[in-house]
Amino acid sequence: MHDLLFYFDMAGVFVFAISGALAAVRKGMDLFGIIVLALMPAVGGGTIRDLVLDQPVFWIVSTHSIWVALIAAGLTFLFARHLESRMRWLIWADAAGLALFCVVGAEKALVVSGSPMVAIMLGVTTGVAGGVIRDVICNEIPLVMRVDEYFYATAAFFGAGVYCLMDYLGYAGPIALWAAIATAFTTRAMAILKGWRLPKALR
């Protein structure tokens, strides 16, 4: 079961890295910029999570994610043209990556801190912080905070929240993990299909 999680995780890293690499291509950056912006969404959120939890940074312990992100950056560098026309496919893969990242992040934070509040915050951080850094480096307001994004952080919040709830109710392990991942993915998918968005403040 954890093998399946590992392959999902690498798939999430791959797709997140492509999102960053494509942003770099769109900004006309060079190969180094493409690599850095591929790494940010792929490992940035998890790095902040591990630093805040005072745990060994996951890509120091095992460099799999780095290699996968580098391969994604290289492929994007070579085939950027073809990838852009497959944006629709990428959005769904990205939703899967987000669902996985936020739940795995929440699980780790819950084990270390014991606080559902911290678990939800760092679950969302794992899912979205790398993308925020990507957008900040690209000199843009982060996509995840804009009204034109469909429940991105919200999906991560629901995923992390459902995991904490199930853990609290005693459904530990794979059941809680997959239920939470399904919740996050469904939330994001429905929001994209139905056009759901978070409101702005009343002014």
Binding site for a copy of itself (CB under 8 A): 24-25, 27-34, 36-37, 47, 51-54, 56-57, 59-60, 63, 66-67, 76-78, 80-81, 113, 115, 117-118, 121, 132, 136-142, 144-147, 149, 152-154, 197-203
Taking CA atoms, 2 is separated from 8, 102, 180, 185, in Å, by 10, 16, 15, 19
Which tokens sit at 85?
A: 């026309």
Residues 6+ apart with CB under 8 A from 188: 95, 98, 99, 150, 151, 152, 155
Kindly tell me which of 113 and 173 has the beta carbon lying closer to a copy of itself: 113
Q: How far is the CB of 1 from a copy of itself (least distance, A)?
A: 28
- Tokens 């006309």 belong to 28
**Comparison of 193 and 201: residue with beta carbon closer to a copy of itself:** 201
User: For residues 12 and 20, which CB has a smaller minimum distance to a copy of itself in the complex?
Assistant: 20
| CB of 93 or CB of 149, closer to a copy of itself | 149
**Please, what is the end-to-end C-alpha distance for the chain in angstroms?**
49
Radius of gyration of the CA atoms of the chain, in A: 16
Q: In the complex, what is the shortest distance from the CB of residue 171 to a copy of itself, in angstroms, rounded to a whole number?
A: 24
